[in-house]
């Protein structure tokens, strides 16, 4: 079998190769990067389906202390307040930018538990219970997704029913 940059001596499936002829893999230097980061893509945003993108994006922006950087009838984008909106030419600086959220309209409602959710964590200097109370006052609801009663996190739903968790307080 020959793939670009790879030399492999295979043996027939189910048969052991003759002694001294074990399958060998050699990878040319052009295939292996100097650093894995050189090939890594940047996690740019999480996209959240929504009925009311204006309201839900503002709810999350307030929750996370983000700001709206783009809004039209097809999407709303929010990013952390400290994130740059300027063009960043240097790849490493660009890669260090934090992720944002993008809200897009969908006609269908949410029908099942999310396969992906956001975990939020207060700092050890914050009052976790007060943070959860604030979320509930602003429209979040408590959720039971089958978690044990003695877990160290609280599962909530945003105003449109998307699950997220508030973890125990942390300092890293």
Strand, helix or coil for residue 22: coil
Cα–Cα distance, 114 to 163 (Å, whole number): 6
pLDDT for residue 6: 35
Q: Which CATH architecture has domain 38-109?
A: 2-Layer Sandwich (3.30)
pLDDT for residue 104: 98
Which residues have CB under 8 Å from 99's CB, separation 6+?
43, 44, 45, 46
pLDDT for residue 97: 94
Mean pLDDT, rounded, for 97-122: 92
Give, rounded to a whole angstrom, the gap between the first and last alpha carbons of the chain. 47
Q: Could you state, in order of their start, the residue ranges of all structural domains in the chain?
A: 1-32, 38-109, 113-172
pLDDT for residue 113: 82
Mean of pLDDT over the chain: 83
CATH level 3 topology of 113-172? 2,3-Dihydroxybiphenyl 1,2-Dioxygenase; domain 1 (3.10.180)
Candidates 155, 169, 66, 159; CA nearest to 118 is: 155
- Would the pTM count as exceeding 0.85? no
* Beta-bridge mates of residue 8: 25
Residue 122 scores a pLDDT above 50: yes
């Amino acid at each position: 079998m020959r793939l670009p940059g790879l030399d492999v001596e295979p043996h027939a499936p189910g048969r052991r190769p003759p002694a001294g002829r074990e399958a060998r893999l050699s990878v040319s230097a052009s295939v292996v990067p100097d650093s894995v980061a050189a090939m890594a893509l940047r996690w740019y945003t999480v996209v959240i389906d929504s009925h009311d993108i204006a309201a839900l994006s503002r709810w999350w922006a307030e929750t996370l202390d983000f700001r709206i950087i783009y809004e039209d009838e097809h999407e709303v984008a929010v990013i952390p307040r400290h994130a740059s909106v300027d063009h960043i030419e240097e790849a490493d600086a660009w890669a260090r930018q934090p992720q944002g959220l993008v809200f897009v309209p969908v006609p269908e409602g949410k029908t099942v538990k999310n396969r992906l959710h956001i975990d939020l964590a207060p700092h050890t200097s914050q009052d976790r219970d007060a943070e959860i109370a604030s979320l509930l006052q602003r429209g979040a609801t408590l959720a039971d997704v089958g978690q044990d009663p003695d877990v160290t996190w609280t599962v909530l739903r945003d105003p449109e029913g998307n699950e997220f968790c508030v973890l125990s307080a942390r300092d890293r």
